[in-house]
């Protein structure tokens, strides 16, 4: 299906002004499709001209343009030509549209727990025409009136406040102007909790089977929501502009959440049904605050074309973490979670994701990619758009100061409210607010790609840069000047404003300086700083860079990491370890030693959990040859057991250690004991999620039959249970089980996307390389054809999650490279290509490391 191009969008926007949509939907529980009746009022600048409507219907019933029938046979590839436009037009489109199972259009989910049917609509990025006929592009905003006919026991929420006029008849209040990609609807027997804050009606909603968990979680969710609203009102100077604020936690959701004005949709894993940690609540809070920031940035003022999508996401990402970092609300343990964890979580999860993307062959500048089509924009929607962009905005806010940063934003919101704007408009607003020379700054940071490396090291006076004799590796320094160095992959001269911290042999900071690096090397602090064992560039994690240690090498990091008290600095070091492994700059065996030693005493559970995952999923998997994997897993499991022995009963560390131990364990006897409730430490509850973790690991070890998984599913016949069961089945080291999982991944089906994702992640399990070897050529041959029956998020996501990185070898790398180089490669759909490129990059990195350090 052709994707709307930038040129087509510009032409259509020049021709049309869309005033209003009235959408009437007939929704039911069981049919294959639903009725969609849309009346669009729009103007055309040139009477007599032609355009096209976006429509992806299963059956077009009738189309009337200004009362005259339009032949539905004209509908080709989702476009219906409209000719003979008048200055003012009324278009009515009646159609049948298919319910979806891939999380786009109107998604239908039947809850296995109680058989109830739930719907929600997802229009992002170009899925709106899957549920109503429209002119689908971000700069054709219009107001919406939506009427819904549905089963009488359902409730409905959407962008406008919902009113029930009769059982099964709902009316949503007229909206302010919205882009088509924001339009949503949530319908079904949802359980709801409502509240009010500062005159704004709030609602949280989820499936009835999660009602008791919603009740338990709603106070925290609503407290974060209220605190974020207050902060944004202070910072942005414009009140929340879309009436009520609903948050619907919905099943099978592809993204973390979607910022539909007035009705945000979020993945329902955020309604925890099993024990959850402070780290998980921190992720949820930053997601809530991120979506709310979009109400201003994205929703109130919308990009003109998808090439500015980065700005929506970078901005929401930056503001979400910034706002959470000022929240003082305590969690159930009385500890102030959010303020403490917000930027740590950003660094650990988001920046690591973005750094991988920024070093892949698919990397791109943050801004100005052109995004020649909507599909190309979606393919470029990655960790660069979110984490790198947010880091750049964080630098910019520090560079401009809050007065100018928010002063410019307020002008921007005021000037373009309910309209569209582009990045140049924002630069203009910031400049009016007092920013100087912003264009060249933006050029350096936003229109280049790649990651600089910052190295801080102490040098004796006689070997300052340019001196003849550099120090030897590991050579001990007594004293000297600290230098901060920048190397750039593309020769760009990006400025970095960072803190540099020097530690002595006792891990005590002896040097802490804020420096602006505007040259390739700058001195830091006094000429003589005294003896330093380790110097860390960007020790407060303020910039966007890779951190290395020059001639000092990794030993000082290994020695000091467990003893450094500042959590942001430890995270900088952990991130350096992770990307050095991926660069084949650090032996994975040494990295494992370092990680295990540091995690043994790591006080922030979120950090410990993330590093234990890295140890199991990378150091003991693709970065180990198969013969080394069991030994490395055993070391991770051993550490998890030692942590379990000392962890506080019922605390986060106990839970994280339990999860990590299960994930890494090859000890079927121990896994079985916990599964049957034996030898479980006091304070640890083997709840639904932990049970499934045990089942998954036992399944991977070949300890379970299909019937055991069925029995487990009978105990937990929930939406999550079904997904976990799919995961466990795909993990079984049995040819028939693998065959069934393969069929699920490659053949058309109506199975929810989450089941596909779980099967994809499990297929090439690192301990089953012999069993799955035959599928390696088939992966590259058969996956491109899934574009025939899958699209959007699900298409690329299944392929990337299944990508056989665990089978890292020169032969598999050749298969991957051939798939991208041959004549067939020219016809790969953009999501398939992107998944192949990124998977191949991960594979190439693992192979390079194995060749260097693994003796293969």
Q: Which residues are catalytic?
A: 291
Least separation, in Å, of the C-beta of 11 and Zn ion?
A: 28
Where residue 222 falls (left for φ over 0; alpha for ψ -120 to 50; beta otherwise) is: alpha
Nearer to Zn ion by Cβ, of 103 and 721: the residue is 103
Nearer to Zn ion by Cβ, of 299 and 628: the residue is 299
Contact 170, 162 (CB under 8 A): yes
Distance of alpha carbon 383 from alpha carbon 345, whole angstroms: 14
Element (H, E) at 483: strand 481-487
Distance of alpha carbon 634 from alpha carbon 592, whole angstroms: 12
Using N-to-C axis directions, what is the helix angle for 652-664 and 605-614, rounded to 10°? 10
List Cα–Cα distances, 574 to 27, 563, 661, 675, in angstroms: 50, 13, 20, 33
Nearest Cα neighbor of 376 from 448, 447, 307, 311 is 307
Least separation, in Å, of the C-beta of 258 and Zn ion?
A: 8
Nearer to Zn ion by Cβ, of 265 and 772: the residue is 265
Nearer to Zn ion by Cβ, of 286 and 767: the residue is 286
Burial profile 7-24: b = 16 or more Cβ within 10 angstroms, e = fewer: ebbeebbebbebbbbbbb
Distance of alpha carbon 494 from alpha carbon 388, whole angstroms: 13
- Using CB under 5 A, list all residues that contact Zn ion: 313, 316
Q: CB-based contacts of 522: which residues, under 8 Å, 6+ apart? A: 483, 484, 515, 516
User: Which spans in 583-684 are helix H?
Assistant: 588-599, 605-614, 629-646, 652-664, 668-675
Nearest Cα neighbor of 681 from 640, 621, 712 is 640
Question: Radius of gyration over alpha carbons of the chain, in Å?
Answer: 27
Least separation, in Å, of the C-beta of 389 and Zn ion?
A: 11
Least separation, in Å, of the C-beta of 133 and Zn ion?
A: 27
Contact 665, 657 (CB under 8 A): no
Nearer to Zn ion by Cβ, of 316 and 658: the residue is 316
Distance of alpha carbon 491 from alpha carbon 779, whole angstroms: 38
Contact 364, 384 (CB under 8 A): yes
Least separation, in Å, of the C-beta of 288 and Zn ion?
A: 12
Nearest-CB residue for Zn ion: 316
680 φ, ψ to 5°?
A: -80, 130
Contact 293, 320 (CB under 8 A): yes
Q: 3-state SS of 375-404?
A: HHHHHCCCHHHHHHHHHHHHHHHHHHCHHH
Nearer to Zn ion by Cβ, of 324 and 695: the residue is 324
Distance of alpha carbon 850 from alpha carbon 842, whole angstroms: 12
Nearer to Zn ion by Cβ, of 94 and 350: the residue is 350
Element (H, E) at 93: strand 88-98
Query: Is-cis flag, bond preceding 125, omega within 30?
Result: yes
| Distance from the Cα of residue 129 to its chain's centroid | 24
Nearer to Zn ion by Cβ, of 117 and 302: the residue is 302
Where residue 115 falls (left for φ over 0; alpha for ψ -120 to 50; beta otherwise) is: left
Dihedral over Cα of 187, 189, 191, 197: its sign: positive
> What's the helix, strand, coil split of the chain in %, to 5?
45, 20, 35
Least separation, in Å, of the C-beta of 826 and Zn ion?
A: 33
Nearer to Zn ion by Cβ, of 63 and 409: the residue is 409
Least separation, in Å, of the C-beta of 257 and Zn ion?
A: 7
Paired with 486 in beta bridges are 454
Nearer to Zn ion by Cβ, of 111 and 259: the residue is 259
Nearer to Zn ion by Cβ, of 136 and 313: the residue is 313
Distance of alpha carbon 728 from alpha carbon 716, whole angstroms: 14
Least separation, in Å, of the C-beta of 453 and Zn ion?
A: 29
Least separation, in Å, of the C-beta of 100 and Zn ion?
A: 21
Least separation, in Å, of the C-beta of 309 and Zn ion?
A: 9
DSSP 40-53: EEEEESSTT--EEE
Nearer to Zn ion by Cβ, of 316 and 390: the residue is 316
Least separation, in Å, of the C-beta of 255 and Zn ion?
A: 8
Burial profile 133-172: b = 16 or more Cβ within 10 angstroms, e = fewer: bbbbbbbbbbbbbbbbbbeeebbbbbbbbbeeeeeeebbb
Distance of alpha carbon 673 from alpha carbon 710, whole angstroms: 19
Contact 500, 535 (CB under 8 A): yes
Least separation, in Å, of the C-beta of 350 and Zn ion?
A: 12
Nearer to Zn ion by Cβ, of 420 and 609: the residue is 420
Least separation, in Å, of the C-beta of 407 and Zn ion?
A: 24
Secondary structure class of 297 (helix, strand, coil)? strand
């Amino acid at each position: 299906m052709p994707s709307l191009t930038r040129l087509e969008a510009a032409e259509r926007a020049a021709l049309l002004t869309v005033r209003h949509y009235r959408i009437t939907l007939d929704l039911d529980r069981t049919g294959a499709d639903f009725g969609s009746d849309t009346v669009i009022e729009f103007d055309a600048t040139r009477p007599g001209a032609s355009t096209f409507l976006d429509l992806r219907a299963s059956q077009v019933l009738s189309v009337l343009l200004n009362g005259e029938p339009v032949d539905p046979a004209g509908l080709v590839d989702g476009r219906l030509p409209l000719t003979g436009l008048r200055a003012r037009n009324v278009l009515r489109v009646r159609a049948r549209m298919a319910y979806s199972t891939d999380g786009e259009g109107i998604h239908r989910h039947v809850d296995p727990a109680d058989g109830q049917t739930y719907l929600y609509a997802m229009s992002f990025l170009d899925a709106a025409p899957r549920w109503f006929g429209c002119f689908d592009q971000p700069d054709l905003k219009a107001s919406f009136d939506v009427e819904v006919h549905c089963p009488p026991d359902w409730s409905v929420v959407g962008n406008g406040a919902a009113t029930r006029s009769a059982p099964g008849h709902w009316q949503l209040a007229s909206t302010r102007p919205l882009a088509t990609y924001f339009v949503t609807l949530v319908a079904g027997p949802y359980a709801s909790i409502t509240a009010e804050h500062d005159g704004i009606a709030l609602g949280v909603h989820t499936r009835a089977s999660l009602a008791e968990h919603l009740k338990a979680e709603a106070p925290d969710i609503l407290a974060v929501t209220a605190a974020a609203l207050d902060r944004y009102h202070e910072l942005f100077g414009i009140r929340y502009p879309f009436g009520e604020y609903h948050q619907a936690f919905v099943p099978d959701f592809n993204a973390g959440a979607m910022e539909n004005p007035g009705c945000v949709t979020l993945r329902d894993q955020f309604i925890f049904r099993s024990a959850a940690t402070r780290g998980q609540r921190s992720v949820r809070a930053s997601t809530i605050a991120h979506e709310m920031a979009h109400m201003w940035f994205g929703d109130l003022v919308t990009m003109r074309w998808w090439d500015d999508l980065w700005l929506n996401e970078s901005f929401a990402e930056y503001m979400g973490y910034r706002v959470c970092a000022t929240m003082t609300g305590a969690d159930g343990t009385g500890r102030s979670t959010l303020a403490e964890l917000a930027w740590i979580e950003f660094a650990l999860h988001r920046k690591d994701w973005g750094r991988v993307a920024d070093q892949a062959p698919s990397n791109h500048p943050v801004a100005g990619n052109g995004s020649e089509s909507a599909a190309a924009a979606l393919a470029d929607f990655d960790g660069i758009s979110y984490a790198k962009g947010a880091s750049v905005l964080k630098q910019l806010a520090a560079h401009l100061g809050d007065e100018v940063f928010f002063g410019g934003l307020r002008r921007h919101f005021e000037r373009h409210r309910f309209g569209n704007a582009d990045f140049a408009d924002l630069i203009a607003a910031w400049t009016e607010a007092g920013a100087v020379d912003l264009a060249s700054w933006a050029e350096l940071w936003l229109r280049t790609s790649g990651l600089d490396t910052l190295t801080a090291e102490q040098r004796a006076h006689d070997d300052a840069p340019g001196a003849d004799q550099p120090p030897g590796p590991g050579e001990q320094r007594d004293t000297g000047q600290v230098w901060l160095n920048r190397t750039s992959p593309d020769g760009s001269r990006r400025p970095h404003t960072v803190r540099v911290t020097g530690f002595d042999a006792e891990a005590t900071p002896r040097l802490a300086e804020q420096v602006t690096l505007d040259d390739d090397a700058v001195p830091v602090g006094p000429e003589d700083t005294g003896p330093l064992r380790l110097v860390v560039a960007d020790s407060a994690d303020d910039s966007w860079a890779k951190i290395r240690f020059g001639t000092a090498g990794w030993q000082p990091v290994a020695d000091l990491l467990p003893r450094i008290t500042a959590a942001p600095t430890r995270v900088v070091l952990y991130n350096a370890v992770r990307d050095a492994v991926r660069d084949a700059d650090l032996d994975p065996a040494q990295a494992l030693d370092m990680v295990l030693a540091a995690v043994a005493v790591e006080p922030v559970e979120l950090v410990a959990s993330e590093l234990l995952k890295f140890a199991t999923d990378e150091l003991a998997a693709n970065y180990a040859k198969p013969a080394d994997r069991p030994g490395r897993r055993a070391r991770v499991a051993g550490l998890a057991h030692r942590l379990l022995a000392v962890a506080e009963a019922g605390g986060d560390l106990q839970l994280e250690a339990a999860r990590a131990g299960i994930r890494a364990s090859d000890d079927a006897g121990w896994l079985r004991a916990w599964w049957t409730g034996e030898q479980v430490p006091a304070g640890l509850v083997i709840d639904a999620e932990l049970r499934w973790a045990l089942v998954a690991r036992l399944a991977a070890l070949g300890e379970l039959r299909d019937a055991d998984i069925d029995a487990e599913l009978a105990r937990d016949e929930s939406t999550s249970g079904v997904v976990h069961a799919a995961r466990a089945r795909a993990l079984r080291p049995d040819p028939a089980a693998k065959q069934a999982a393969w069929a699920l991944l490659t053949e058309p089906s109506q199975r929810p996307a989450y089941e596909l994702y779980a099967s994809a992640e499990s297929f090439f399990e690192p301990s089953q390389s012999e069993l799955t070897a035959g599928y390696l050529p088939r992966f590259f041959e058969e996956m491109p054809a899934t574009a025939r029956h899958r699209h959007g998020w699900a298409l690329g996501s299944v392929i990337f999650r299944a990508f056989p990185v665990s089978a890292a070898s020169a032969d598999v790398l050749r298969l991957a490279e051939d798939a991208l180089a041959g004549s067939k490669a020219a016809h790969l759909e953009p999501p398939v290509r992107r998944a192949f490129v990124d998977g191949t990059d991960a594979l190439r990195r693992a192979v390079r490391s194995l060749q260097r350090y693994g003796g293969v």
